[in-house]
Amino acid sequence: MQVALVGVSGYSGMVLYRLLKQHPAVDQVNLYGHQGGQLAALKTVVPAFQKETVNVRPFDAATVMTENAVLFCATSAGVTKTLVLPLIAADFPVIDLSGDFRLPAATYTKWYHQAAAPVQALAKASYGLAEFNHRLTHYVANPGCYATATLLGLAPLVQQHLLDPTSIVVDAKSGLSGAGKKLTATSQFTMVNDNLQLYKVNQHQHIPEIVQQLKQWWSAVPAIEFTTTLIPVTRGIMSTIYAKAATPTTTAALLQAFQQVYADQPFVQVLPAGEMPTLKQVIGSNDCVLGVNYNPVTKTILVVSVIDNLMKGAAGQAIQNFNQLFQLPATAGLPSLPVFP
């Protein structure tokens, strides 16, 4: 089939293009730009892709729907809420990596500081947390990277009411690619190298996304404490989660709960007792690796969740949702091993 991609110039878009080019069900990837302008060679838009001869064409909704079976959007927040409205009206399949369709209008406006998509359009979107949402609509709101790592780490605990719902604390760390390509004062080499930086404290736009899904699993969850830290690596997220146990438990019992939930999920690995994951275990793969521990002295549950923010946190999960939407094998087009060393 032919597929469309808007946003190839961003990091997630670049990774998504590479995955689509290698996908066994994709015959051609058609590229479109969302800012108007003229035809542009991909190698001028993404210098790393010098061998590619494809062009990036101006976006036209009718052309996209005529030429393709699905549209992938790897754009910044604020683009798809208007760009894709004709496709939504036509019920054309769209997989959106931005945050424009993950939240209700009022919540989006509060956290993204801009007007939201029309309410009628938002109602047609489904949240594509791939391991749990098996009732996708034709508009898939791909989850955010922090949200993916955190929700996969919390799902068994929240779904089975194994924690005190008022006690969730998340210390999440991300590599620089999670901030995108735009250069800022805090993303320069001299600031990132040999440094750690907290950012968007109590203001990160993935907070309402995480809480929204947690409440769907268990309405007793009122809120979470969520902190993000920029670390001096290119790719990867480590979400370290703490919560008080609902009742005294053991690491073995918690591991059993996690193993039951993820037994049939090819991209989630639960480590044995005593082991904790590292970023190197997931970089370049679509995997989420989880480590679980219980401290009986403090009655605290610890979960460590690691993903590649550009794969499982963006492009890789988009391919998972594509596979599900078109009833393809779950692992089609996705690497089974990380890049190591």
Q: How are strands ordered across the β-sheet holding 125-127?
A: 40-41, 55-58, 28-33, 2-6, 71-73, 94-96, 139-141, 125-127
Q: Are strands 197-199 and 225-230 parallel, antiparallel or unpaired?
A: antiparallel
- The partner residues of 71 in beta bridges, in order of sequence, read 4, 94
Per-residue three-class SS string for 305-334: EEECCCHHHHHHHHHHHHHHHCCCCCCCCC
Q: In which residue are the tokens 């794969």 written?
A: 311
- The partner residues of 242 in beta bridges, in order of sequence, read 169, 302
Q: Please give the distance of CA 297 from its chain centroid, rounded to a whole number.
A: 35
Q: In which residue are the tokens 């009986």 written?
A: 296
Contact by Cβ (8 Å): 305, 149: yes
Q: Which two structure tokens, joined as six digits, stand for 47?
A: 């210098």
Q: How are strands ordered across the β-sheet holding 237-244?
A: 197-199, 225-230, 169-174, 237-244, 300-307, 288-295, 268-270
10 Å Cβ neighbour count for 327? Answer: 6
Buried b / exposed e over 9-21, threshold 16 CB at 10 Å, is bbbbbbbbbebbe
Give the residue numbers marked as catalytic. Answer: 145
Per-residue DSSP letter, 296: T
Q: Dihedral of CA 192/108/31/138: which sign?
A: positive
